[in-house]
């Protein structure tokens, strides 16, 4: 190979290498959510029917996970109403989407109360509770925050809490937070791509 043919050969090799690297980077699976600091992780709770539910329940289909409490005046019922609208938009496909509403107020939110509360929303939504330490562990896994705020002139309280609604992929990894400013049909299309 002469010097004159070597230069174009090197240029071609460089171009091929660039295309290969670009393709690898483009099609490499998103790995940001899989680091040890990511949102999500082990939990050990029970649902409104007192059946045990762990992080393994997230496997096999996309899931929505969020934290709240039944005495919540606005944020939680609004999110549950929006999730119910999403299920309606999904129709039968919604059977492949799981939703876990995890209480941050297990002292009041017993399985029985959660069951009663869920009657107002789509029946495919599950609510989870458990001993305080198990709820705290779930909150840590999801980097969720909650704080008891006493109500003035009353024995009662509300919980200040994380309002993010997490969308998890079918391997149980965090993808993004749900955007309920979008119409339910648009969110339904997004969910269908995750099946
Ligand atoms: Ni709330």
Q: Sorting pLDDT into bands at 50, 70 and 90, what band is 7?
A: low
Report how far ligand 1's centroid is from the alpha carbon of 158 (Å): 9
Q: Sorting pLDDT into bands at 50, 70 and 90, what band is 31?
A: very low
- Residue 26 clears pLDDT 50, i.e. is over it: no
Q: What is the pLDDT of residues 113-166, one digit of tens each?
A: 999 999 999 999 999 999 999 999 999 999 999 999 999 999 999 999 999 999
Report how far ligand 1's centroid is from the alpha carbon of 61 (Å): 25
Q: Sorting pLDDT into bands at 50, 70 and 90, what band is 38?
A: confident
Q: Sorting pLDDT into bands at 50, 70 and 90, what band is 194?
A: very high
- Residue 48 clears pLDDT 70, i.e. is over it: yes
Report how far ligand 1's centroid is from the alpha carbon of 92 (Å): 28
Ligand 1 ion: nearby residues, β-carbon < 5 Å: 68, 72, 75-76
- Residue 30 clears pLDDT 60, i.e. is over it: no
Report how far ligand 1's centroid is from the alpha carbon of 184 (Å): 20
Q: What is the mean pLDDT of residues 55-61?
A: 97
Report how far ligand 1's centroid is from the alpha carbon of 71 (Å): 8
How far are the Cα atoms of 14, 19, 22, 23 from residue 10, in angstroms, in the given order? 6, 14, 18, 20
How many residues appear in the chain? 195
Q: What is the mean pLDDT of residues 62-80?
A: 96
Q: Beta strands 165-168 and 146-150: pairing type? A: unpaired
Report how far ligand 1's centroid is from the alpha carbon of 78 (Å): 9
Q: How far is CA 158 from the centre of its chain?
A: 23
pLDDT at position 21 is 52
- Residue 28 clears pLDDT 50, i.e. is over it: no
Report how far ligand 1's centroid is from the alpha carbon of 21 (Å): 46
Distance between start and end Cα atoms, the chain = 53
Degrees, nearest 5: CA angle 28-142-190:
50
Phi and psi torsions of 174, nearest 5°? -65, 130
Tokens found for residue 134: 């198990």
- Residue 176 clears pLDDT 50, i.e. is over it: yes
- Return all residues near 122 (Cβ < 8 A) that are at least 6 apart: 83, 84, 87, 88, 94, 99
Instruction: Kindly give the interhelix angle for 75-90 and 184-192, rounded to the nearest 10 degrees.
Output: 60
Report how far ligand 1's centroid is from the alpha carbon of 189 (Å): 26
Q: What is the pLDDT of residues 92-128, one digit of tens each?
A: 999 999 999 999 999 999 999 999 999 999 999 999 9
């Amino acid at each position: 190979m002469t010097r004159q043919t070597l230069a174009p050969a090197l240029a071609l090799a460089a171009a091929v290498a660039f295309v290969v690297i670009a393709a690898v980077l483009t099609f490499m699976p998103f790995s940001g959510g899989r680091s040890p600091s990511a949102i999500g992780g082990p939990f050990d709770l029970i649902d409104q029917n007192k059946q045990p539910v762990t992080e393994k329940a997230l496997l096999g289909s996309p899931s929505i996970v969020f934290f709240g409490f039944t005495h919540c005046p606005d944020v939680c019922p609004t999110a549950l109403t929006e999730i119910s609208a999403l299920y309606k938009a999904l129709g039968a496909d919604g059977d492949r989407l799981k939703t876990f509403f995890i209480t941050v107020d297990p002292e009041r939110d017993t399985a029985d109360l959660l069951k009663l509360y869920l009657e107002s929303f789509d029946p495919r939504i599950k609510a989870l509770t458990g001993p305080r330490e198990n709820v705290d562990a779930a909150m840590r896994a999801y980097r969720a925050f909650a704080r008891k705020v006493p109500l003035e002139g009353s024995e009662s309280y509300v919980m200040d809490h994380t309002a993010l609604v997490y969308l998890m992929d079918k391997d149980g990894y965090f993808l993004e937070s749900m955007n309920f400013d979008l119409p339910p049909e648009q969110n339904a299309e997004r969910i269908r791509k995750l099946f």
